Amino acid sequence: MLRNGKQKKVIVYCLLVMVIALGGCTLSSPFQQSEKSKEEQKQQEEKNIKENKEEELLTEEDKEKKKEDEIQQDKKIIEIDYERVKPNELGHIMVVMYHGIMDNPPYHRTYEDFWKDLKYMYDKGYRPISITDYVNQNITVAPGYTPIVLTFDDGLPSTFSLIKENGSLKVNPNCAVGIMEKFYEEYPDFGKAATFYINGHDPFEGAGTIQERFAYLLERGYDISNHTYNHADLATLNEQQIQEELGKVDRMIKEMIPHYIMSTFSYPFGKRPKEEFRKWIASGSYEGHEYAYDIAFREGPSGPFIPPIHVKFEPYNVPRVRGSEGAEGDLWWYFNYYEKNPQYRYVSDGNPHRIAVPKGKENNIQQEMLQAKEVYVY
């Protein structure tokens, strides 16, 4: 459904009180939130965990109804001043590629530097989103903010590991997950999301079983996905070998977490298969186990970070930016680039059911990706 900005009076869904609340806390100072709203965020997070538990007990029919209610609710509360927020929902969404937390640049990041990355994102209005929301362009970050995707390759213990303390498992405070958890405690309105692309050999290592490690991540809102069984150079493999490399990890994860949906893959070394074998990334099977992926990430070349709904988006050739500092095209290079060129950033309107774009950009929307979303031109 295409709507013109001049018709926006027609779509006044809003409850006036909610608009004032939104305007007061978000729009007047887009990149800062009060202590009170941080507290509210935290309460919301606790509520979400509780609801997730309740969700497991619902029937399919109940779930459908709940989803529909939520959509209606979202439509009611989100109405913004488009001229002021200037959403750009065809703008760039960076996908950051990290490896471990250690002093070995540029592929690894130290504790301090990783914290600095997160703090910069927080201060400059970036908010992490889940990989599923990225794939579906289901962007729920508040109006005026820019989504960002955090990914970690190779399942390294410095990325995530559990330790045993007084008989119970807890996260190693010095691994990336430990750091993100601490950051979230201090800045709950930053949110929390990251995806870990793993290989097949004892992913993450450390304490706990593999299943306990996966459970720990998923319960806290993180995702895991496929980076081949042997960290394979796919450019050198044939179709059977490619399917074995993908299928084995896919099966391993799904055996431990039944019904878990993985829709993204990351190429080891950033290298794609030979052209004639590329279709085996999208789907294939190994020993009767079938897999399918909607998106595959490379290591680069960096940018442009157009979002999945853009007509030029290539789902099996998606660039990521290396999470490092000091080289052209790395994360800090792009941070500076977007400071100088904010017009390229994705700016959310806060409404996942609407794709809002400045006039003249609407032709860059890939219509088949829209599904039930409406386009809003202003």
Shortest distance in whole angstroms from residue 305 CB to Zn ion: 20
**Residue span binding Zn ion (CB under 5 A) among the ranges 69-77, 260-268, 282-290, 305-313:** 260-268
x/- map, 211-250, Zn ion, by CB under 5 A: ----------------------------------------
Q: Select 78 or 295, whichever has its Cβ closest to Zn ion.
A: 295
For Zn ion (CB under 5 A), the number of binding residues is 3
Q: How far is the CB of 266 from Zn ion (least distance, A)?
A: 7
> Residue 213, class by beta-carbon neighbours within 10 Å (0-12 exposed, 13-18 middle, 19+ buried)?
buried
Q: Which is nearer to Zn ion, 144 or 323 (CB)?
A: 323
Please tell me the distance from the alpha carbon of residue 359 to that of residue 361, in angstroms, as a whole number.
6
Binding to Zn ion by residue 154, rule CB under 5 A? yes
Judge whether 273 and 244 are in contact, CB under 8 Å: no
Are 265 and 302 in contact by the 8 Å Cβ rule? The answer is no
Q: Which stretch binds Zn ion (CB under 5 A): 59-67, 100-108, 147-155, 212-220?
A: 147-155
Nearer to Zn ion by Cβ, of 153 and 189: the residue is 153
Q: How far is the CB of 204 from Zn ion (least distance, A)?
A: 14
The closest of 275, 141, 312, 297 to 227, measured between CA atoms, is 297
Question: Residue 98: in which H helix or E strand, if any?
Answer: strand 95-98
CA distances from 62 to 55, 118, 178, 217, 234 (A): 9, 38, 35, 27, 43
Q: Rg (Cα) of the chain, in Å, rounded? A: 21
268 binds Zn ion (CB under 5 A): yes
* Binding residues among 42-71 for Zn ion as defined by CB under 5 A: none
334, containing H or E segment: helix 331-340
Any contact of residue 299 with Zn ion (CB under 5 A)?
no
- How long, in residues, is the chain? 378
Nearest position to Zn ion, beta carbon: 153
In angstroms, give the least distance from the CB of 86 to Zn ion.
Answer: 37
| Segment interacting with Zn ion, rule: CB under 5 A, options 148-156, 186-194, 235-243, 335-343 | 148-156
DSSP letters, 320-331, are -EES-SSSTTSH
- The minimum distance between CB 257 and Zn ion, in angstroms, equals 21
Using the contact rule CB under 5 A, the part of the chain among 73-81, 117-125, 150-158, 168-176 near Zn ion is: 150-158
- Least CB distance from residue 1 to Zn ion, whole Å? 42
Structure tokens at 15: 């409850």
Beta pairing class for 162-165 and 195-198: unpaired
**Nearest approach, Cβ of residue 155 and Zn ion (Å):** 9
Kindly give, in sequence order, each residue whose CB lies less than 8 Å from that of residue 46, ignoring residues fewer than 6 positions away.
Answer: none
> Interface residues with Zn ion (CB under 5 A)?
153-154, 268
